[in-house]
Amino acid sequence: MAGGRWRGRRSLLLGVFAVLVVLTGLGVGVATTEDDPPPVPAPATASPASPSRAAARTVNPRNPLSARQLIALPRTDGSWPGANGLSGVNGDPLFDTAHVKAFCTARGRACRIAQTYTDRTSWESMTRGTGWTFELFADFEGMLVVSQGLVPDGAAADLPACARGEHDADWRAFGTLMRGHYRGDSVVRLGWEFNEQTSSWRADDPRTWIDCYRRAADNIRATNPDVLLDWTINAHNTPAGVCGGVSTNCYPGDDYVDIIGIDNYDHYPWSPTKAAFDRTATRPEGLTWLYDFARAHGKPFSVGEWGVVPTGDAGRENPSFVKWMHDWFATHATHLAYEAYFSDCGAGGVQSSLFRTDAPCRRNPRSAAEYATLFGG
């Protein structure tokens, strides 16, 4: 999201983290053609500069929670979610199985994925101390997508230290934590939305950011070779002082990325017409623009967050955006690894909730009906 407009959503997430802590008592390849099936990300292998990755693999060939196996399932362009499409949501208001299931029950179809976050209060809390991220989804029968920062919130000054390897042990601890909770074979959106103006790990210095990302990737993989790393941008705008104004200038390289993704909301600019939606999607930093970049690098594509934004420049809900996103997913289903709607009722946030009816939530009834029709049943 552009500029300071994302602060509300980030504040919401941190507020939910605090609630969770209180409630639980936990401590704080080569490009392929469009007709090819989605590439199955291979288990990480050590590069000459990487630590040894001889750690025992946790993948179970019959594990229904395996991100690798679920993403590898065949999908055909023209329908979504279909039999094998990976569609889901974040937990709202709490990041847990119960709230993901509540959303999915309301839409009329079980969710195959849950999207969640780590506690980014400190290096300790976001790596070895974020076990609750996994414990709250211990009973979730599907794939887990974890959004993980590159530094703690408010610690942008730590990026150079990360790039120098001073936090390698923290990243190795995070990989170990994932495996310890039997979620090694999950997706991690590492340093997601690095091109967003208010991000603590904003990529003002592309070289430093890339070096930090690579250190994190190498060391998470060192203790958890099953992890899938998703490099995700914020749609529609990269400020001139971030990545030289183009998000892909901060691409860390194919060896460090398994999935390429985008967070795509109906705001700044919103889409009043299908023609406007298509124009925004094909422009630099847009949905289709980045999809084409992913295909050129032989990577599957993801949309880890998307939703209507009645608090943005639209000033209202937009059920047509829901339809256009669904149609886009269907058109690109073969190479779409997963998508997750972002549900939010936080004060100052995007107010994208579809099915919550409690006091903090702005109602989006027409968008909810459209979503249930297209993604349910």
Active site residues: 193, 305
Query: Which of 68, 48, 345 is CA-nearest to residue 214?
Result: 48
- Between the alpha carbon of residue 145 and those of residues 38, 67, 280, 294, the distances in Å are 18, 9, 26, 19
Burial 16-39 (b: 16+ CB within 10 A, else e): bbeebbeeeebeeeeebeeeeebb
CA 98 vs. chain centroid, Å, equals: 20
Closest CA to 352 of 265, 268, 273: 265
What number of CA atoms fall less than 13 Å from residue 120's CA on the CB side? Answer: 24
Strand partners, 259: 230
Element (H, E) at 372: helix 365-375
Of 112, 259, 265, give the one whose Cα is nearest residue 188. Answer: 259
Closest CA to 328 of 377, 282, 376, 270: 282
